[in-house]
Amino acid sequence: MRPADTWKDYELLDATDGNRLERWGETILIRPDPQVVWKTPKQSPLWAKADAVYHRSNQGGGEWEYKRRLPEKWKISCGEGEDKLTLIVSPTGFKHTGVFPEQAVNWAWYAQKIRTAGRPVKVLNLFGYTGGATLAVRRQVHRLPCGCLQGHRGVGQGQCCGKRPCRPAHPLAGGRLCQVRCPRKTPRHTYDGIIMDPPSYGRGPGGEIWKLEDCIYDLISQCEEVLSDTPLFFAVNSYTTGLSPAVMEYMLKTTLVPRFGGETSCDEIGLPVSATGGVVPCGATAIWEE
């Protein structure tokens, strides 16, 4: 497992009985987590001092119980120096906060891969959600000649340098951040890197049903066609418990390696728990790289 253990403004303080106790900057939140199936004693005294608790509803969804008034949104930082990202935390009615802290380990990998490429890189980020991966990649392609990033229209919850939010159509050096959807047909553009973090379930504009286990292979095969002749990497992330890291790696190995060579890897990603020293699993990532 690869733990996201470099955070300073985020901390998973404790986890038990279906809940996480988290620190987001100076704010303490309790949120449900279906992976936390153990019922060990609570180790942290901060359980009793949480600023807000999310309660699930038997009818689906849920709501926040605020112990004190919180701002609608606030900033936290990830990384240091030129790689520092400023991210916006904003609790939603679906328990999420606008930041997925476990993904920091993937953001660092993308940044390092692009930084050491030694050549111009074009990256396509699908299903961009709140934009953490987009921001991490943008900081690197910005430094490369003819670097280009294309991302999902959901980008906008973070800042690259703390000065202003990154939005779709934000200018890049030699490129642009523009709005694209998952291609139904092979487009004219090709990319050196692809990042995809598809949802477990969804519906299309025509009522089409998207189920990750049924659609992921076709999506990978389709996106293979938009890779350049000399691709750098292809990363697939999933939060679907029924789709193991090894299954995702197998699909990358059988689709990309015969055509481009390279190698594949896979692993769970997770968050270290300060109170116990354990790591809560938070998803899985499979990677192909040159």
Give the pLDDT of residue 166. 40
Model confidence at 284, pLDDT cuts 50, 70, 90, reads very high
Query: Which are the contacts of 51, defined by CB distance < 8 A and separation ≥ 6?
Result: 27, 28, 29, 66, 67, 68, 70
Give the pLDDT of residue 172. 29
In the block, tokens 């189920």 appear at 211
Q: What is d(CA 29, CA 36) in angstroms, rounded to the nearest whole number?
A: 16
Greatest C-alpha distance within the chain:
57
Residues in the chain: 290
Whole-structure pTM value: 0.85
Give the pLDDT of residue 103. 95
Give the pLDDT of residue 183. 44
Q: What percent of the chain has pLDDT over 70?
A: 83
pLDDT digits (tens, 9 = 90+) for 122-176: 999 888 767 888 888 888 876 544 445 555 443 334 443 334 444 332 232 223 3
pLDDT digits (tens, 9 = 90+) for 47-90: 999 999 999 988 878 999 999 999 999 999 998 887 789 999 99
Q: What is d(CA 105, CA 110) in angstroms, rounded to the nearest whole number?
A: 9
Q: What is the phi/psi pair of residue 219, to 5°? A: -65, -45
